[in-house]
Amino acid sequence: MAFVTQRQIQKFHEDGFLVLEHFFTAEECDSMRNQIQRIVAEMEVPPHCRTEFSTKEEEQLQAQGSSDYFLTSGDKIRFFFEKGVLDERGNFLIPKEKSISKIGHALHAYDPVFKQITHSSKVQELGRKLGLERPVVVQSMYIFKQPGIGGEVTPHQDATFLHTEPLGRILGFWIALEDATLENGCLWFIPGSHTNGITRRMVRAPPGTSTCVEFVGSEPAYEDSQFIPLPISKGGLILIHGEVVHKSELNSSESSRHVFTFHVMEAKDTSWSKENWLQPTPELPFPSLYT
């Protein structure tokens, strides 16, 4: 593992992100890709559960908000699809392995390969270098960013979806399982944008509302010129501060951009919002990163 210096940690605090090339080996990346292939091959999706994944606010509310499937996926391994891959009866228009957008949100807890990566000694060591005292894993996702159809992810802050008090307790680990390039939808960041708090929250809607979640506040308009791209090679890790503004563009290339990502919360002196869509359950309390 690349040794992380104090200067790099200082840079993370300045920018709100940190790129660590070659953090994971090619073999580790391939083991995750092979495991996900097995999971997708065995995937059986009930048609009524075939919610499409979207980050555009209205579509998010419509597709996910009315969907118990999304809301109760925090302690399960569940499947979300790109737009336009299902007909009106919920049948696949293209092969299922090419139609899937992401798998979430508990691979880290229930799959041996992803569990091992999440709790690997180098991740734990990095947590300690960052000064995390009681980090817990709150969610994980495998993101496919399919060739030609991998949708854009509009500018957002992770704390919009994973709210804590105080803020500043959420950290994303974003692992490139293949090269992430300008062409296939690498991440873009606004350096230093993690210091101004958050302007929007996704919260559970009151019972009886037509959607399960709703947004409070709004995302400001960001200038494209504020963003810098962070291409990264296979095995690279990007650390993402919970309040840094980031996005990714549509994948218009012919190569996918597979990623495994998980979020950690510093649980010491922190309260997890009861309004978050994601809640720990008796079956799956948030597991400690240091195990």
Report how far residue 204's alpha carbon sits from residue 278's, in angstroms, rounded to the nearest whole number.
Answer: 9
Q: 240, 174 in Cβ contact below 8 A? A: yes
Q: List the pLDDT tens digit at each of the 291 positions of the chain.
A: 558 999 999 999 999 999 999 999 999 999 999 999 999 999 887 565 555 666 677 666 555 544 778 888 999 999 888 888 877 777 888 888 999 999 999 999 999 999 999 999 999 999 999 999 999 999 999 999 999 999 999 999 999 999 999 999 999 999 999 999 999 999 999 999 999 999 999 999 888 787 889 999 999 999 999 999 999 999 999 999 999 999 999 999 999 999 999 999 999 999 999 999 999 999 999 999 998
Site of tokens 């995750």: 32
Domains of the chain listed by start with CATH number:
6-272 (2.60.120.620)
User: pLDDT value at position 65?
Assistant: 46
Question: What's the one-letter identity of residue 242?
Answer: G
Report how far residue 97's alpha carbon sits from residue 233's, in angstroms, rounded to the nearest whole number.
Answer: 23
CA-CA-CA-CA dihedral for 186, 53, 161, 125, to nearest 10 = -50
How many residues are listed for the chain in this entry? 291
Two tokens, residue 157: 């802050």
Output the pTM of the full model.
Answer: 0.93
Angle at 179 between CA 99 and CA 150, to 5 degrees: 25
Element (H, E) at 116: helix 112-118
Q: 169, 265 in Cβ contact below 8 A? A: yes
Residue 131 backbone phi and psi in degrees, to 5: 85, 20
Residues of 205-219 as b/e, b for ≥16 C-beta within 10 angstroms?
beeeeebbbbbeeeb
User: pLDDT value at position 63?
Assistant: 56
Cα-based distances in Å from 119 to 10, 30, 103, 147, 228: 24, 17, 19, 30, 30
**Pairing status of strand 100-105 against strand 228-230:** unpaired
Q: 145, 251 in Cβ contact below 8 A? A: yes
Q: Is 260 helix (H, G, I), strand (E, B) or coil?
A: strand
Nearest C-alpha neighbor of 18 from the set 274, 290, 237: 237
